[in-house]
Every structure is written in structure tokens, then in C-alpha cells.
Structure 1
Amino acid sequence: MLLAIILLLVIFIITFSFLLGSYNESYWAKRNVKYHGGKNAIATFSEFLFTSRGIFDIFGDIYKLYPEEPAVATPSLLQPALFVKHPENIQHVLTDNFKNFYHRGVEIAKKDKLAQNVLFLNGSRWKLMRQKMTPLFTSAKLKNMHYIIDRCAQDYIGYLKEHVNDKNANAFETLSVYSCSSLLAPIFGIHSGQSTVTSPLLNMARNATKPTLKANLKFILNSLSPKVFQMLGLSFFGEYEEQFIGAISQVIRQRKEENVKKHDFADIAVSLQNAGTMKDESSGCEIEPTDEVLAAQAFFFLIAGVDPVTMGIYGTLFELAKRPDILKQVQQEIDGVFENNTEIGYDVIGTMEYLTKVLEESLRLHPPISLLSRECMGESILPVGNIRVSKGTRIDIPILAIHHDPKYYPDPDVFDPERFSAENKNSRPNMTFMPFGEGGRLCIGQRFAYLQMKTGLAHILRNFTVKVDDVTKKMTYLKSSLIIRPANDINFTFVPRNKE
């Protein structure tokens, strides 16, 4: 009996997928858009689930298969899906016609408390919450917080010196110690120093973004049909709610009792609660700044901040270790800065032009995110190809594939910081370098992340020369991960520069 039920279920899924695939193909043919995936409506996601290929590999292949197409339709269950490739069309989606593409295409159940943040919210609630969180990352706030980031970097150097001979250390996890501490201290006012290697918040950030079958199934269901995901009442982060909301409530309560200003998230949280109901006058949207609501924003900073910064530093060190000539040039610039400074001030960071080029080239090769998704909220026409996009259509934008397109970056697998000279940057189309996204939903903490990465790299490279055992080895990415994470932990050797 059970076998018969399973067989009937399989037949139903195959038939349903075939019918939907045929409908998708016909739908896009009427709009003169090529369709990838044949008659299988779940081809892309079943390939991700049941093969050893990553989502970035699958979309990368689609990108290469249609070199002259400005956009390609892809399989989906209950909504049309369009893979947008041409920079002008991407600009139309992310900036020029943002009012019709502000939605991330992710539906979150109200019970998923920690997901009610600026990353996942949409519409007027997203707009209001972003307005309230943006002041945390103004130039003045970043300048006030930078001395804390610098101190975290100095503490991390002490940690590295203690563990420099630890051959069993995972380089990515070791670097996340700095990423987490330099986020916790200035943003949350938590000065945990070297103890962040065992910090519950760091472990939480790792677990919340860890690629698991359960997490991937949730992502796929939400991508294929956000409405079904919401109807089922599924959540992404429910298991972390009690611990994290409790921790942030304690931070806010302590700041109120101290009655001091530190220019951090806790300050903004206290200010919002003292002001009462948050309201957007244009839409009438209102949000109560409860501990739960504010904890959700803090959770976003944590899960969206630790891994991307770690990946940025990790990728840069990996590429520099393979190019001693470029490494030497970066170290010369850093040494010049430190001649008259024991700390790297906020203003000094902006003068490190070569370090900036090196970091940006690393972020091109190894961007923290491989794909952006949006949902069309109003009828629109993509300019290149005159493609009509209807409300409800999911838009996918392949960041990793664009970053490796030889049209924009000749010899794209070669590490060449001069690609990011002012002249070369101006010669490329817009929307061809998007390590943190672009447009109205550009990562709110991008400038803060750059400060973390550049400050951390400056201190690491001032004190150590980084080497790898095999300079011909390429970085591979974790296939099961939806964000870019290294699969093969590179055996970094941190050689103290006074011992070279």
C-alpha cells in the first residue's frame, strides 16, 4: 500500500512538473524570451538538491549558454521566473524602476520573529525600518565606531600570534573570530575580545547560515512558491528566537540603565523605544519598536555581517598568498601608513588606494553572494530586448557569473587589482560589480563591512606574510551553500614578518 502511494505521488509530481514546464515554455515564447529547462518546472532546483552542483554552478552555466540573450526564462512552479543578464536590464530592475522591483521575492511568516528585518521585509514596513536603521551607518557614526574596529583588529593579531603554529586551525573559522568581534563591539556594544571564538552569538551566526538539507529545502520552496511557504507557516530562524531576543533585550536594558551614548545599535534601539511608535507619514505604516522588532534588526546585522566579511578577508589573503609581488606592494603601502601611526584612523583608511583595489578584485573573484532575487510588483518593460515583465514574476541576477564574464573582465580568473583603477572602473558598464548588491536594496552595512575588511587586512598584513602550500590551487565553493563559502579550506601559513 505504501509503495503504491509513493508511486502515485511520484507520478503526480512528474506529471505536474511536465504540465507546468510546458506552460512556462509557452508563456515565455509569447514574449519572445528563450526558455531554459525544457518541460521540467523544477529542473534548476532539483539539480541543486540531487546533484553535487552548487546553485552558482547551475546559474553560471545558464549564463554561458545564452551569451547574446539579455534575459533567459528559467523553470519555476507557481510564478514566472526570469534570469536577467544584460547590465541595462539589471539597472532597470535595481535602480531605474526600483518602485516595481523592491520586493525580494521572499515571503516570511509573521511568526518568524527574527526574519522581520530589513533583509526580508518588503513594502512600507521595509521602507520604514530601513529609514530607522540607516543612521547607524552614516559617515559620522562610522568614524565614531572605527576606533573600536581598530582595537578589535589589534586584539585579533594577538590571537593570531598565539595560534600561529596551530596547524589544525580552519582558516575561514579563525578569520570569523575577527569578523564577529569587530561587529559585536561597535554595533552591539559587546566587548568580548578574543573570547568571541567561543561566543554563543558567533556560534549562532554560523549555525543560522550553515548549509543544511533542511535549510536548502526551505529556500527552494520559498523560491518556487513564496505563497505556499507562507501558507505552511514555515520559518527560517525560529530555533534562535528565545536566546537572541533575550540577549538583545539585555543589551538594551543595560544601555538604558547606564544612560550613556556610544554611537551604536543599542543607542538607536533606546532612542526608538523612547520615541514610541515608528510611523511612515507617506504610507501610514506603523511599527512598535519592541525588543523583538529591534532584535530582528540586530539578527540581520549578525547573519549578514559575519560571513561576507570573513569571505572578503579570506579571499584576499588567498589571492595575495599566490601573488607575492602584489602582496609585497600592499605591505609597502601599509608600512608607509604605520610609520607615524600605531592605529589606523578612519580617515587614513580612505588613503590606502592599493589595498582598496586588491580587496575589490578579491570581491570580484569571490563575491559574498552569488545571486540577487527580486519580485516584480507592477507591469514593466526591460529596455534591452523589450521584454514585458508582469507582476509576480521572479527576477534572478547572477552576480558571480557577471563578475567572471570576459566581456567585462578579460582573463576573468586572473587576479589583477589594476582592474579597479579609476580608469578601468569608468570603462565598464554599471551593474558589473555588485559584491553587496546594488540599488535601493543595496546592503545597508556595505560601508561598515569595507571598514572591517580593510582594517583587518591592514593589521594582518602589517604583522604577517601569508603563504599557501600550493600556489596553483584554486578556491572551490561549498556546493550546498546558497552564499559563497570556501569548500576546500586552504592551508594558510601566517609567517611573522619579523621572522621572514
Structure 2
Amino acid sequence: MIFTNDVIVTSAFELKVDSLEEPNNTFYTMGKDIINFSSLLATLKLMILFGFPKILKLIDIFFAHNKTTEYFHNTITETIKVREEKNIERKDMINLLLEARKGHKTEEDNAIETEYVTVQEDSYFDRCENLLFFVAGFDTVSIALCCGAQELAVNKDIQDRLREEIRETDKLNDGKLYLRCIIKYEIYGHEILKKWPPILVTDRLCTMPYTIDPKYPDEKPLHLKVNDILWLPISALRTDEKYLPKPEVFDPKRFSNKNCDQIIP
């Protein structure tokens, strides 16, 4: 969590934070507060959030405590105000949000409008959207890193192979591990997320009528309407042998350039 907190703060606000040396800094303590579901009230909020989102909005209960929501809201609002007044541009998430507010569109934005797309991201965080980037990365990356460390610990042959690859790359680049040098290790990340997805399901909102045809004789067509919410079972799909053989085995080689074409999309 300490590492992911500092990365998010740097990429979002272009601020330098060292949570290892200063574990009580405001960003880190507020971040922990957002994802704290240890109390009965927090668990209840989470259940209402996913089960009855409209009720959540009516009674005005949030994921985080009001002080946490207010802190992030004020921080982002003040940062945006200063940048607009002084015409400051930086390579971080705040700048991306400002560009989006101006109506700038990327190629991906334009692709959303094609006739083939029938779903869009469905977010229940309408009132807390300023927190979403923080919530989405703070705990999920920590979980993935911890699970990856565990897999390397119990699979010594893979750990040894990875260590040797890093040493070879280090020698070839005079001790400078540039991003282009370490992209090859992305295959380990794919396998970690395949076996240990931090988020078990994701949801999408249907934007146009669509029918899923029956696959078996005793099934009926499933007619999706506009605004229907779809739940996609990430964990179930990634542990289905129809798509990934021996899903319980930690095998990064399945995502190598040589083998990735064999994976069923």
C-alpha cells in the first residue's frame, strides 16, 4: 500500500511523497480510510452500494467518511483552480481531467460511439468520482504485488528464472533498467492477475438493445434493454479451463509471445 500510495499521488498530482519514511502523511492515512471496511457500518455501505445504488444516493451515504471525501475534493479543486489561473500544464491525471473537461477526445473516446459497442462503464461513484482514481489503484495494486510475491516464493524455479532474466537485462543495459527493458516482465503480471484478480467482478451498463441467443435447446434468448446492468465474472472466466488450461497452476509462460496466440480471447 505504501508503494502504490506514493505512485498514485505522484501520477495524479505530481507531488513527491515518501510514505515509507513518513507513514503518517495525509495522503496515506486518508487512502487507508477510504478502503477500510472493517466496521459493520462500512460493510453495510458496501452492500447498499452494489445492491441498492439508488437508495444509497437518496440517503446520501458515502464510501468514505465525510472528512476523507472533503479532503480529496478540496485538494483536487484547489489544484485545478491554481492550474487554470496560472495556465499550468503537467503530465499527470489532473491535466487529463482538465483536457477532458474542455471536450478533447482521444481515439478511444471516438471508438465508444461505434455501432458495435453496447455497453459502457457503470459507476456508482457519482458523488465521489474524485476519489475513484485513488480507490481503484490503492488496494488493487497492493493485492496483486503481494500475490505475485507469494507465487514467486512457492515456485522457486520461476523465481530463479525471473532473477536470471533481470541479471541478464541488467548486464545488457549497463545497469539501467529502462521501461522498454522491463516490458518483457509484463507476462508475469498477466499470470498474477489471471490467478489472483483483485476485483472478482466488473459491471457495465447496456447502451442499446441487444439479444444473446440461446446456446442450448432448453434455453431462451436473453433480451437486454437499455440501462440494464451487466455483471462480468472476471474470476470465473480466468479460472475456466475452456479459456486457460490448468488455471490453478502459476505459469507465466502461457502469456509469452510464443504462447499468447493460443489463448482464447
Are 1:232 and 2:62 matched, yes or no?
Answer: no
1:245 aligned residue: 73
Q: Is the 8 A contact 1:215 1:236 kept in 2?
A: yes
Are 1:347 and 2:180 matched, yes or no?
Answer: yes
Task: State the alpha-carbon separation in 2 of the partners of residues 400 and 254 from structure 1.
Answer: 43
Residue 244 of structure 1: CA displacement?
A: 1.6
Are 1:186 and 2:11 matched, yes or no?
Answer: yes
Are 1:379 and 2:209 matched, yes or no?
Answer: yes
SS in structure 1 at match of 2:203: strand
- Once the two structures are superposed, the pairs formed by residues 159-174 of structure 1 within 5 Å of their partners are none
- After superposition, the Cα gap between the structure-2 partners of 1:266 and 1:221, relative to the gap in structure 1 and judged at 3 Å, is closer
SS in structure 1 at match of 2:247: coil
Residue 311 of structure 1: CA displacement?
A: 1.6
1:426 to 246, 261, 264: 261
1:262 aligned residue: 90
Task: State the alpha-carbon separation in 2 of the partners of residues 230 and 358 from structure 1.
Answer: 40
Are 1:210 and 2:36 matched, yes or no?
Answer: yes
Q: Is the 8 A contact 2:33 2:64 kept in 1?
A: no
Task: State the alpha-carbon separation in 1 of the partners of residues 128 and 159 from structure 2.
Answer: 40
Task: State the alpha-carbon separation in 1 of the partners of residues 25 and 156 from structure 2.
Answer: 35
SS in structure 1 at match of 2:260: helix
1:410 aligned residue: 245
SS in structure 2 at match of 1:198: coil
Q: Is the 8 A contact 1:376 1:392 kept in 2?
A: yes
Q: Is the 8 A contact 2:190 2:252 kept in 1?
A: yes
1:370 aligned residue: 200
Residue 192 of structure 1: CA displacement?
A: 1.4
User: Any idea what the Cα deviations from partners look like across 1:344-371, whole Å, max 9, x if unmatched?
Assistant: 3232233x2xx22222111111112101
TM-score, normalised via structure 1 length: 0.42
Task: State the alpha-carbon separation in 2 of the partners of residues 215 and 327 from structure 1.
Answer: 38
Are 1:329 and 2:124 matched, yes or no?
Answer: no
- Once the two structures are superposed, the pairs formed by residues 438-453 of structure 1 within 5 Å of their partners are none
Residue 398 of structure 1: CA displacement?
A: 1.2
- After superposition, the Cα gap between the structure-2 partners of 1:341 and 1:188, relative to the gap in structure 1 and judged at 3 Å, is farther
- After superposition, the Cα gap between the structure-2 partners of 1:196 and 1:382, relative to the gap in structure 1 and judged at 3 Å, is farther
Task: State the alpha-carbon separation in 2 of the partners of residues 271 and 321 from structure 1.
Answer: 43
- Once the two structures are superposed, the pairs formed by residues 472-491 of structure 1 within 5 Å of their partners are none
Task: State the alpha-carbon separation in 1 of the partners of residues 262 and 100 from structure 2.
Answer: 44
- For these two proteins, the number of residue pairs brought into alignment is 236
SS in structure 1 at match of 2:23: helix
Instruction: For structure 1, list consecutive stretches of 5 or more residues without a partner in the other structure.
Output: 1-175, 283-294, 431-500
Task: State the alpha-carbon separation in 2 of the partners of residues 402 and 375 from structure 1.
Answer: 19
Residue 257 of structure 1: CA displacement?
A: 7.8
Task: State the alpha-carbon separation in 1 of the partners of residues 147 and 81 from structure 2.
Answer: 38
User: Any idea what the Cα deviations from partners look like across 1:151-184, whole Å, max 9, x if unmatched?
Assistant: xxxxxxxxxxxxxxxxxxxxxxxxx111111221
User: Any idea what the Cα deviations from partners look like across 1:83-140, whole Å, max 9, x if unmatched?
Assistant: xxxxxxxxxxxxxxxxxxxxxxxxxxxxxxxxxxxxxxxxxxxxxxxxxxxxxxxxxx
SS in structure 2 at match of 1:210: coil
- After superposition, the Cα gap between the structure-2 partners of 1:301 and 1:226, relative to the gap in structure 1 and judged at 3 Å, is closer
User: Any idea what the Cα deviations from partners look like across 1:285-319, whole Å, max 9, x if unmatched?
Assistant: xxxxxxxxxx9655222111121211221111110
Are 1:199 and 2:25 matched, yes or no?
Answer: yes
CA RMSD, 1 decimal: 3.1
TM-score, normalised via structure 2 length: 0.74
Q: Is the 8 A contact 2:72 2:130 kept in 1?
A: no
- Once the two structures are superposed, the pairs formed by residues 69-80 of structure 1 within 5 Å of their partners are none
Are 1:356 and 2:176 matched, yes or no?
Answer: no
1:306 partner letter: F
2:232 partner letter: I
- After superposition, the Cα gap between the structure-2 partners of 1:183 and 1:222, relative to the gap in structure 1 and judged at 3 Å, is closer
Residue 325 of structure 1: CA displacement?
A: 1.2
Instruction: For structure 2, list consecutive stretches of 5 or more residues without a partner in the other structure.
Output: 111-126, 216-220
- After superposition, the Cα gap between the structure-2 partners of 1:243 and 1:222, relative to the gap in structure 1 and judged at 3 Å, is closer
Highest RCO, 1 vs 2 (Cα 8 Å, sep ≥ 6): 1
Q: Is the 8 A contact 1:376 1:393 kept in 2?
A: yes
Task: State the alpha-carbon separation in 2 of the partners of residues 209 and 341 from structure 1.
Answer: 41
SS in structure 1 at match of 2:11: helix
1:290 aligned residue: none
Task: State the alpha-carbon separation in 2 of the partners of residues 308 and 412 from structure 1.
Answer: 21
Residue 210 of structure 1: CA displacement?
A: 2.2
1:234 partner letter: I
1:223 to 44, 50, 55: 50
Q: Is the 8 A contact 2:210 2:224 kept in 1?
A: yes
Task: State the alpha-carbon separation in 2 of the partners of residues 228 and 254 from structure 1.
Answer: 36
Task: State the alpha-carbon separation in 2 of the partners of residues 257 and 412 from structure 1.
Answer: 53
1:468 aligned residue: none
Q: Is the 8 A contact 1:255 1:266 kept in 2?
A: no
Q: Point out the more displaced range, 223-232 or 305-314.
A: 223-232
- After superposition, the Cα gap between the structure-2 partners of 1:384 and 1:314, relative to the gap in structure 1 and judged at 3 Å, is farther
Residue 268 of structure 1: CA displacement?
A: 4.2
1:177 aligned residue: 2
1:389 partner letter: L
SS in structure 2 at match of 1:317: helix
Task: State the alpha-carbon separation in 1 of the partners of residues 53 and 88 from structure 2.
Answer: 43
